[in-house]
Amino acid sequence: MMRRALKFLYSKTPIWFRLKYSKQWRQRSAVMRRMLDEQDVDACLRDTTVFFLIGSGRCGTQLISSMLNKSSDSLVLHEPCRFPDVGSRHEARKDPAFAREYVETFRKYEIYKKIRDSQCRYFGEVSSPLRCLGQALKNAMPHGHYFILVRDGRDGVPSALNRQTPRRGKEHHTPIYPLPGDPYHDSWNDMSPFEQACWWWMDAYRMMLDHLSGCPVVHFEWVLKDYDYLKRVVLDPVGLDLTREQWKASVTRKSDNAARQYVVKKWQDLEPGERDTFDRICGDVRRQLGYTEDDMPLQWGTDAFDNSARPAPVTS
């Protein structure tokens, strides 16, 4: 009861307070490590099936986590440490040693507590803030299952731009922008919002393809279309028992996090020059992720149950 009350009070706290609290992760880590035995933590993580679907923002993470959480003996969470993960993201991009410290002294213990409290056999996170921590997570939990969750950039970029996701970081958390050595570093401040959104999508998956090399790529569009695809690529490798009926109930209901309306142009409405800009910035990464020029953004609900043949899963 007390835990629920604290969670409720935290949910009502203003963003600025959550951000300030999230920056205290080292202090929180020190307390947890005094209270918890690291050998017990590592043993629990080895004995539990742990998995991560990591993507960019606006790639369906909330819907996928809610869907997979219907599996028995499982706890699948959507961005459970959002503010600490987001607040540490920029430093993790620059410094692999920082990423290792954050995961091994803080995130690993947070995961252990959730497994301990829920007594689950399968623990998963579906998250976009983890995209800078993929390699550190693999090093800390090498027995885990790791997936790159992607939504076609032709759909993801307009969705992010519609939510002003790339620019909201300036107000809500540490922003993401090109580091020195990135081809777009010097021109960043002169780039249009559309160009910055394209870079934001490209950079997220460029990093994941590097940090999660060899891990399966899970296409959000095909998770919505084809239960057999989801079963082959995610459910069977992890061991989850999500049924076809549970999957169908999830994909026939529009996600609570889906955009209510679009105030920017969708892909089909973009000018030829804008499409050229997208391909210049995102094209190579998009093709590495398994998309072709013929793939078009999914129109929600129009073809969710088209079980057309799908090629073998892409690996990064």
CA distances 63 to 66, 146, 220, 276, 301, Å, are: 5, 18, 10, 31, 14
- Residue 266 structure tokens: 């969708």
- Spatial neighbors of 49 by CB under 8 A, at least 6 apart, are 121, 122, 123, 145, 238, 239
Query: What pLDDT shows up at residue 101?
Result: 98
DSSP 233: I
Q: What does the pLDDT profile of the chain (316 residues) look like in tens digits?
A: 666 776 677 667 777 777 778 889 999 999 999 999 999 999 999 999 999 999 998 899 999 999 999 999 999 999 999 999 998 998 999 999 999 999 999 999 999 999 999 999 999 999 999 999 999 999 999 999 999 999 999 999 988 888 765 554 444 445 788 999 999 999 999 999 999 999 999 999 999 999 999 999 999 999 999 999 999 999 999 999 999 999 999 998 776 666 556 567 888 889 999 999 999 999 999 999 999 887 755 443 333 333 343 444 556 6
Query: Could you give the 3-state DSSP secondary structure of residue 241?
Result: coil
Domains of the chain and any CATH numbers = 15-315 (3.40.50.300)
- Spatial neighbors of 170 by CB under 8 A, at least 6 apart, are none
CA distance 221 to 296: 10
Nearest to 89 by CA among 130, 136, 135, 134: 130
Query: What pLDDT shows up at residue 20?
Result: 78
